[in-house]
Amino acid sequence: TQLLEQSPQFLSIQEGENLTVYCNSSSVFSSLQWYRQEPGEGPVLLVTVVTGGEVKKLKRLTFQFGDARKDSSLHITAAQPGDTGLYLCAAENSGGSNYKLTFGKGTLLTVNP
């Protein structure tokens, strides 16, 4: 089972600031997903990255997959209060049972107006 470590665990910033959160493992991922979870709701998929070195952009969010496919980052530019939530990374287990996602503990982001 892959262990995913996310950092920081908590992040509180002011509206307009930039931030980066990280997802790291000692294992190689076949693919990695980022989800955002708002209070009282289930996680919602933001992006899936597959190729080492891949960069994907979703409006003000930039996702990067490490060259060795062991780590990923999420960068938010000019954060807004609506970005507040728990950001989770998830990776598919290697070794056959690729339907099973392993989740990190998440980064709880608060963007203050």
Partner 1 sequence: GAGVSQSPSNKVTEKGKDVELRCDPISGHTALYWYRQRLGQGLEFLIYFQGNSAPDKSGLPSDRFSAERTGESVSTLTIQRTQQEDSAVYLCASSFSPWGYYNEQFFGPGTRLTVL
Instruction: Give residues in contact with partner 1 (CB under 8 A).
Output: 4, 30-31, 33, 40-45, 48, 50, 88, 90, 92, 97-106
- List beta partners, residue 23: 6, 72
Output the smallest distance, CB 31 to partner 1, in A. Answer: 5
Residue among 79 and 90 whose Cβ is closer to partner 1: 90
Residue among 22 and 103 whose Cβ is closer to partner 1: 103
8: cis peptide before it, omega within 30°? yes
C-beta separation of 46 from 61 below 8 A? yes
- List beta partners, residue 37: 86
Residue among 97 and 113 whose Cβ is closer to partner 1: 97
